[in-house]
Amino acid sequence: MKLLQVENLKTTFHIDAGQVQAVRGISFHVEKGESIGIVGESGSGKSVSMLSLLKLLPDNATLTADNILFDGAQMVNTSQKAMRKMLGRDIGMIFQDPMTSLNPLFTVGEQIIEPLRIHQKLSKEAARQRAIEILRMVEIPSPEKRLKQYPHEFSGGMRQRVMIAIALSCSPKLLIADEPTTALDVTIQAQILDLMRDLKDKLNVSIVMITHDLGVIANMCNRIIVMYGGTIVEQGTTREIFYKPRHPYTWGLLRSIPQFTEGEKKKLISIPGSPPDLLRPPAGCAFTSRCPYAMKVCEKQPPQSVALSETHQAACWLMHPKAANHMREVIG
Amino acid sequence: MAKPASALVEVRNLKKHFEVQKSFLGRSSTLLKAVDDVSFTIFRGETFGLVGESGCGKSTIGRTLLKLYEPTAGEIIFDGQPITRLTHKEMLPYRKKMQMIFQDPYASLDPRMTIAQIIGDPLAVHNIYRGKDRVDRVKELIELVGLKADHLNRYPHEFSGGQRQRIGIARALAVEPEFIICDEPISALDVSIQAQVVNMLEELQERFGLTYLFVSHDLSMVRHISHKVGVMYLGSLVEYASVHDLYTNMQHPYTRALLSAVPIADPDTAEGSERIHLQGDVPSPLNPPSGCAFRTRCPHALHRCAEEKPALKDSGNGHLVACHLLD
């Protein structure tokens, strides 16, 4: 069952210097109960595409899409005001930085209780009971006492647990987590990932996780979307992306993490150059300037997404039948 | 690596305590023991990786070595010369030999200086390469880190994070140092750019025989770049070994937990791997546990761990571990 289906989503920011085409026509879907990882470099459009779905864009942004179906309902033209009714109730969100996403002037309890009162219309006492229950669910010790404390009295890991508690308080169908563990230490990151995995199964919520850490994705997600320069260059199951990657950018991404086989240490293989300027996006494939296998056609025409299996798609000219010879030449 | 190694930097019982939370009349204060009795040696031409979680004191060590912080106690010996008690002026010739690359390439370059001024600044401070020589030297440096001479008249905001970090590296190299402290040099960068910067650091090391102190929380990158690795927890070194020994034969329970917490970027391995779960957070360094600082989260803690702080002991082959369990 598809929970979310997005077709041809485009987001553009209008700034003095021109138009930044942050997201340039992406299509994907999220099944019920699955967890999807979105990877890509900073500026590849991962966060903006999610914020676009939630209509959390600033005033200078415009959004177009052929379809945004959430649980069967069309959301392309949903106003920000109508969206507010859904945020927190049907869709929960966890942000990267637990230090800035909680309000320092309110107690943690007040911040958990607010969505419960608004969305679920619970009485004060019922909401408080539910808040204690949720804090217990995210494994925060002595929740009764913790409810009355302010965010500064919590450590980074504990704050991220509180964020998860708030995001899940109204039992949403979809949880969007934007780099939820990037600001945390590894041992705390491991705790938070375990918690998210447990809760996903317990509450049957779908998770879209934005991250740049391939390790986190390998441990958390069953499908992966790889973004580059505002487009989706490849998507597939976690195993397809890790073991049968087809796009040169995915190859580069996978090779730039240190590998340790017995004995000799390998030199890291880096991707030369830097990402494209989305104020003036290239006419063809966005990766052309950094791609070691680039052909003439790559500069002129954006490649179409090619289906490699039911779940695996990649957008690269190398997969065109006519490129077979070129492929043999470069790979040897 | 079987080459005869001589010590470039030796650190003996280094302590750095900060006074915090002074009471109103300044009569009583609490000590934050950021670095508490740490000793290690960095050999010429090698990279010493220092890992640990935030607040463990790894960056403080880097800064204290350069004497950006005045050490509270202990000895720092650079190239056979104790530098611990040198005055600012006496320190200057040593500063030329020791340079630093900072974590945040957005904060460590002055936005109002051109790249030529930024890279030329250390040359001006030490008053070397005057006039046209300086212009040439700056050009040489910017090309050394893979940027172009026509970038020199631009300002930092015109560069991406990776490019800025290259500029930071060029600035550190300007005075031909022997020793560079890299304080989390890649943690603010994207994965593909991290590899570029790490490769460049390795090439420069080979070319100029540089010695690095590489401070990082990224255990796989430390494994890649280091020859020796030290693991820190709450101000103390808990394990020190060559990179091969440490990653194949880790002995301290904290090191094991830290390594097992790193998510493996391989779905098949990730599925089968067993994690050691550490409960809770790192205790506050203002009020550290008695005895072994790790005992509150250690799955194997004994009675003795609460009473006595374990010393770093050689468990064979120069592999040092501070843990009572190994006695």
Q: pLDDT tier at B213 (50, 70, 90 boundaries)?
A: very high
Contact across the interface for A270 and B193, Cβ inside 8 Å: yes
- Read off the pLDDT of residues B138-148 as tens digits, 9 standing for 90 and up: 999 999 999 99
Averaged confidence pLDDT in chain B: 90
Residue of A nearest to B297 (CA): A187
Specify the range with the lowest mean pLDDT, choosing from A135-139, A294-298, B283-287: B283-287
Q: Does A87 touch chain B (CB under 8 A)?
A: no
Closest CA to B126 of B86, B181, B89: B89
Contact across the interface for A256 and B278, Cβ inside 8 Å: no
The predicted pLDDT at position B266 comes to 86
> Which chain B residues are within 8 Å of A192, Cβ to Cβ?
none
Residue of B nearest to A41 (CA): B190
Contact across the interface for A212 and B263, Cβ inside 8 Å: no
- Read off the pLDDT of residues B156-180 as tens digits, 9 standing for 90 and up: 998 988 899 999 999 999 999 999 9
Q: Which of A158, A215, A267 sits opposite B265 (nearest CB)?
A: A215
pLDDT for residue B2 is more than 50: no
Contact across the interface for A274 and B261, Cβ inside 8 Å: no
Q: Which of B54, B199, B270 sits opposite A218 (nearest CB)?
A: B270
Alpha-carbon span B47 to B40, nearest angstrom? 13
Q: Which of B191, B193, B223 sits opposite A260 (nearest CB)?
A: B223
> Which chain B residues are within 8 Å of A187, Cβ to Cβ?
53, 257-258, 261, 278
The 3-state secondary structure of chain B reads CCCCCCEEEEEEEEEEEEEECCCCCCCCCEEEEEEEEEEEEEECCCEEEEECCCCCCHHHHHHHHCCCCCCCEEEEEECCEECCCCCHHHHHHHHHHEEEECCCCCCCCCCCCCHHHHHHHHHHHCCCCCCHHHHHHHHHHHHHCCCCHHHCCCCHHHCCHHHHHHHHHHHHHCCCCCEEEEECCCCCCCHHHHHHHHHHHHHHHHHHCCEEEEEECCHHHHHHHCCEEEEEECCEEEEEEEHHHHHHCCCCHHHHHHHHHCCCCCHHHHHHCCCCCCCCCCCCCCCCCCCCCCCCCCCCCCHHHHHCCCCCEECCCCCEECCHHHC
Alpha-carbon span B34 to B61, nearest angstrom? 9
- Read off the pLDDT of residues A64-117 as tens digits, 9 standing for 90 and up: 999 999 999 999 998 888 898 888 899 999 988 777 889 999 999 999 999 999
The predicted pLDDT at position B4 comes to 56
> From the CA atom positions of chain B, what is the Rg in Å?
21
> Which chain A residues are within 8 Å of B220, Cβ to Cβ?
257-258, 260
Residue of A nearest to B280 (CA): A188
The predicted pLDDT at position B211 comes to 97
> Which chain A residues are within 8 Å of B202, Cβ to Cβ?
267
pLDDT for residue A315 is more than 90: yes
The predicted pLDDT at position A131 comes to 94
Contact across the interface for A155 and B281, Cβ inside 8 Å: yes
The predicted pLDDT at position B166 comes to 94
The predicted pLDDT at position A264 comes to 58
B62 contacts: CB under 8 Å, gap ≥ 6:
B50, B100, B181, B183, B213, B215
Domains identified in chain B and CATH numbers: 7-235 (3.40.50.300)
Q: Does A271 touch chain B (CB under 8 A)?
A: yes
Q: Does A238 touch chain B (CB under 8 A)?
A: yes
Mean pLDDT of B195-211: 94
In chain A the first and final C-alpha atoms are separated, in Å, by 43
Q: Enter the pTM of the model.
A: 0.86
pLDDT for residue B12 is more than 90: yes
Closest CA to A108 of A163, A156, A155, A157: A163
Q: Which of A187, A254, A270 sits opposite B199 (nearest CB)?
A: A270
Interior/surface letters A298-323, b for 16+ CB within 10 angstroms, e for the rest: beeebbebeeeeeebbbbbbbbeeeb
- Coil, helix or strand for A41? coil
A325 contacts: CB under 8 Å, gap ≥ 6:
none
Do A25 and A8 meet the contact criterion of CB atoms below 8 Å apart? Answer: yes
- Coil, helix or strand for A54? coil
Specify the range with the lowest mean pLDDT, choosing from A181-185, B23-27, B64-68, B251-255: B23-27
